[in-house]
Amino acid sequence: MHADCDKLFNPEFFEHVPCNFCGTTDTDILFDADVKKIPKTKEDFINIYSSSSSEVFYERVLRCKKCGFIYLSPRPRRELIINGYSLAQDLRYVSQEKGRQITFKSCLKGIKRLCKEGRLLDIGAASGIFVKMASNAGYQAFGVEPSVWMCEYAKKHYNASVLPGTLEDAKFEDCSFDIITMWDVLEHVTDPMRTLKEVKRILKPGGLLVINYPRIDDPLARIFGKKWWFLLSIHLVYFTPKTLSAYLELLGFKKVLHKMHFQRLAYDYLVERLNVYSPILSKIAKFPYIIPGFKNILIPYFSSQYLMISRKRE
């Protein structure tokens, strides 16, 4: 049955990949593919791969029997993903400026306690909100972001320095940053090992690496199973504290902190995302809209995301 399913993944658009951590192909199927949702054209991929896409995944999710790493295979080819991100125009993301500012302000307080000043790089910087706030906090902050539209938005609205392209495209000098941040990014990259090696190269000895990620073995993920809201087509890999720590330890990082990550977003934005998974619950959640201004209230929430801060060994 699985072989028949594989035939529906057009090799022009999809590729089979081994475990990114240990390189093996001996896996268990965690969730099988939804063949009715498999994209058929390049335009389909462009529509899916925007940074705040809520397209529920259709791919097969595998778990490596050797190391436990969880990833998609078959998955869209890298060039399709990068092209989709480069063309993305994400008005929904930038609409949540106030909530993201509150979230990042809290995060910066924690980072300040570990590194008070220096050069900071935000990978996958989106609209440049964090780059701007880090600059305001006294850091010499830069960003890199695949979406050309987002980079232009960052310059226009925040006067933030965000380069278009991937981290590898930027070709930063060795040991050129004191802090590198990745907010909801690592689960999107096609080759986490390659990306983290590049991070290590450009981070100074003793420098901080800040990673925010959706934890696939979180209790909420276990409860909701295939209905877990972070099972999205834009997420190519899924981490647990064990697998993420294994990556970082292998590459010469020492874990400093690991904790739950809370965010703030507008109530109506969260209700809109809920509609993808449960239209009925989404309708019920709209009842408070009769109260003027309620839909714009910024809601603090936890949704299986965690923050891991590590330090590059001297």
pLDDT of residue 52: 57
More confident: 121 or 87:
121
7 plus 79 within the same structural domain:
yes
User: How many CA atoms lie within 13 Å of 207's alpha carbon, on the beta-carbon side?
Assistant: 20
- Binning pLDDT at 50, 70 and 90, where does residue 55 land? low
pLDDT(47) > 90: no
Residue 297 maps to a domain:
no
Of 86, 108, 128, which one is at a domain's C-terminal end? 86
The size of the chain, in residues, is 314
Asked whether residue 106 falls in the same domain as residue 71, the answer is no
The helix (run of H) or strand (run of E) holding residue 88 is none
pLDDT over threshold 80, residue 51: no
293, β-bridge pairs: none
pLDDT in tens, 244-279: 999 999 999 999 999 999 999 888 888 887 777 778
DSSP designation for 66: T
Residues in CB range of 96: below 8 A, 6 or more apart: 265, 266, 269
Residue 43 binned pLDDT confidence (cut-offs 50, 70, 90) = confident
Q: Where are the beta strands (DSSP E) in 105-252?
A: 119-123, 140-145, 162-164, 177-183, 203-214, 237-238
Which of 52, 86, 120 terminates a domain? The answer is 86
178 and 60, same structural domain?
no
Distances (CA, A) of 313 to 26, 226, 237, 293: 32, 38, 25, 49
Task: Give residue 220's domain range.
Answer: 96-266+306-312
Last residue of a domain, one of 26, 57, 86: 86
Say how far apart CA 149 and CA 146 lie, in whole Å. Answer: 9
Q: What does the pLDDT average to over 101-112?
A: 95
Q: Given the structure tokens 């890199």, which residue do they identify?
A: 144
The whole-chain average pLDDT of the chain stands at 90
Asked whether residue 173 carries a pLDDT value surpassing 70, the answer given is yes
Q: Say yes or no: 154 and 261 in one domain.
A: yes
In a domain? residue 91: no
Confidence check: pLDDT of 1 > 60: no
Does pTM top 0.85 for this prediction? Answer: yes
